[in-house]
Structure 1
């Protein structure tokens, strides 16, 4: 085994690190502590980086795994306990941490494994409109698989309620030809039809815009991609909800940082705490939301 290689790179306005081992390559941005891409050597990417991604300070990159925290989606769609935490005027979608520079705590190599640790000091009282004191850390471990773990530690003397997500963009050969295993029988919220509650029958395939919140999701889901002869495994912890999203044609055409046909090559499965699965941190309590990615041939 050769020693993993760590290189600093600049992508547009963003500071990044490219980490290469004998088996995989990872690109991580300081902004948002965001994994931008992940690929096992000799294989198609596992995480998708938009061909028209914009690398600009303050703007989350359409790629990899953005971190949504301390709320997910539109704040107004969150439970009242999450909404009550925010005292600002116009809450941005997906929270307050995606467009901020995190602090790199260190990049450590152990054998053929690399660990990258970040924290965001701003969450300890300095997020605009969110006057709470929560230590927020993100750890990325690159080895035979990729693990991303987001840990929230309430340092305040009152409870704090959050929703959150690891908003993963997966790379697929053609979303119309893949399906998601592990959702059969689950109840979900169909956000494109008045937020109706429905039940999934069978595996999930794709034939149009998709935006669903799956409730009581299992700890393991899979993306089956016959054209690339692989199954991507998602293993989560600290989560009971999963959001599955693809913008399809019309919505993709409205996104300046996605090619008009970019929707064909990506699928979001977001490991989340949303809807009735929000997290209330008692004083001194800790919660970790984590996702491990791997793949195997079909």
Structure 2
């Protein structure tokens, strides 16, 4: 039987839990049910935590896996059906879930894996200016892989349309030396060039600021990191879009919660439902956005 330890920690203003098992160590915050870091035993970190991260209530941490829900990015860049769900005037970036406290429902062993479950109670009709009744849970499974599932169940009597993402920050040896495989030939939206749609040629390498929405993505993408001699594999379900982001030099220097050279050590690949990849939930319907993250030696 697997064994695990759970320790409560305070990081700045945030309540957190450090969870250790035979497979690795996970740090997670109550705010946003946000995974802050994850490291497998005997390996470099798999998920990146900014050295200058700010742990403040109401602010998402520059780290790990922030949950973007019930919209992704700038609400005004979302389809009208997603915008129409929100009744307020000032819509925060990346939705309402990542800066609210979630409830830890339980941690339990099942075989050799550890299952951690959170719920956002305020999604049941109590989010400001978003008057819809959705049962929203996040399940994390620590086993041979790290599985993260964001589950939305429409408990209301009207349809609900959302966009969303698991905004994962991956740790890399040097982003200038890594490549992303699985995107070859895909169409993508180049947000840095007036949201122009383009086509990817070959694997993706990084030579400057990158902020792209890849469309009709396959179920598997991977980060190949020759210096650390590893491949990080992302296997997703419930998603056919992905956002790939790195701020590079100039943008990173503008971010107070990232070291000026922090961009070198991170790469975001966000398993998502964005652009035309929307989630439309009829009353009683459910959707699960899931990514399984694993690493293997090259």
Using structure 1 for the length normalisation, give the TM-score. 0.99
Q: What is the match of residue 134 of structure 2?
A: 134
Q: What is the match of residue 153 of structure 1?
A: 153
- d(CA) in 2 for partners of 1:51, 1:185: 35
Alignment of 1:280 with 2:269, yes or no, is no
Deviation at 1:183, TM superposition (A): 0.2
Map 1:63-212 → 2, pairs under 5 A: 63-212=63-212
Structure 1, unaligned runs of 5 or more: none
- d(CA) in 1 for partners of 2:133, 2:62: 29
Alignment of 1:34 with 2:15, yes or no, is no
Whether the 8 Å contact between 1:246 and 1:268 is mirrored in structure 2 is: yes
Deviation at 1:19, TM superposition (A): 1.1
Return 81-90 or 108-117, whichever deviates more: 108-117
Map 1:27-66 → 2, pairs under 5 A: 27-66=27-66
Whether the 8 Å contact between 1:160 and 1:281 is mirrored in structure 2 is: yes
Runs of 4+ in structure 1 displaced over 6 angstroms? none
Q: What is the match of residue 221 of structure 1?
A: 221
Deviations 1:3-51 (A, max 9, x none): 1111111111111111111221111111100111111111100100000
Aligned with 1:138: secondary structure?
strand
Structure 2, unaligned runs of 5 or more: none
Cα RMSD between the aligned structures?
A: 0.8
Whether the 8 Å contact between 2:33 and 2:102 is mirrored in structure 1 is: yes
- d(CA) in 2 for partners of 1:190, 1:196: 5
Using structure 2 for the length normalisation, give the TM-score. 0.99
Alignment of 1:241 with 2:207, yes or no, is no
- d(CA) in 2 for partners of 1:46, 1:247: 19
Aligned length: 298
Deviation at 1:111, TM superposition (A): 3.9
Q: What is the match of residue 24 of structure 1?
A: 24
Whether the 8 Å contact between 2:23 and 2:142 is mirrored in structure 1 is: no
Whether the 8 Å contact between 2:210 and 2:244 is mirrored in structure 1 is: yes
Deviation at 1:109, TM superposition (A): 1.9
- d(CA) in 2 for partners of 1:273, 1:139: 18
Aligned with 2:236: secondary structure?
strand
- d(CA) in 2 for partners of 1:216, 1:184: 12
Whether the 8 Å contact between 2:169 and 2:269 is mirrored in structure 1 is: yes
Return 108-117 or 153-162, whichever deviates more: 108-117
Whether the 8 Å contact between 1:3 and 1:111 is mirrored in structure 2 is: no
Deviations 1:198-237 (A, max 9, x none): 0000000000000000000000000000000000000000
Aligned with 1:32: secondary structure?
coil
Whether the 8 Å contact between 2:51 and 2:258 is mirrored in structure 1 is: yes
Deviation at 1:2, TM superposition (A): 5.5
- d(CA) in 2 for partners of 1:3, 1:232: 25
- d(CA) in 1 for partners of 2:170, 2:227: 15
- d(CA) in 1 for partners of 2:110, 2:70: 32
